[in-house]
Amino acid sequence: MTVEQLPALPDAFGPLPAAIADEAALRAWLHARVAAMLAADRHRLLALLYRVDVRERDLADALSASDVPAALADALIVRMVEKQRFRNQHPS
């Protein structure tokens, strides 16, 4: 699945840069955005992750990881991929 095929992130994450062409670049960008949001407004970040429907168990695991921003970015990407796969399997 390509980055272009993933569902859009909430606007609060900021616009996705055009230079992001693969999952590694997306992960790095999300890591930086999540780290900034975690430092600035943790509750807003958690609300956004809830809105994107990151599982509570994945969220708890990420929040107890040694690199919290990376773990949260990974959980977010996993959820985005799951959503798109579901949409592909069940077109309306």
Q: pLDDT tens digits, residue range 26-72?
A: 899 999 999 999 999 999 999 999 988 999 999 999 999 999 999 99
Is 69:38 a contact under the CB 8 Å cutoff? Answer: yes
Query: In the predicted model, is pLDDT for residue 1 greater than 60?
Result: no
Structure pTM?
0.84
Is 32:26 a contact under the CB 8 Å cutoff? Answer: no
Residue bearing the bigger pLDDT, 87 or 47: 47
Confidence of residue 7 (pLDDT cuts 50, 70, 90): low
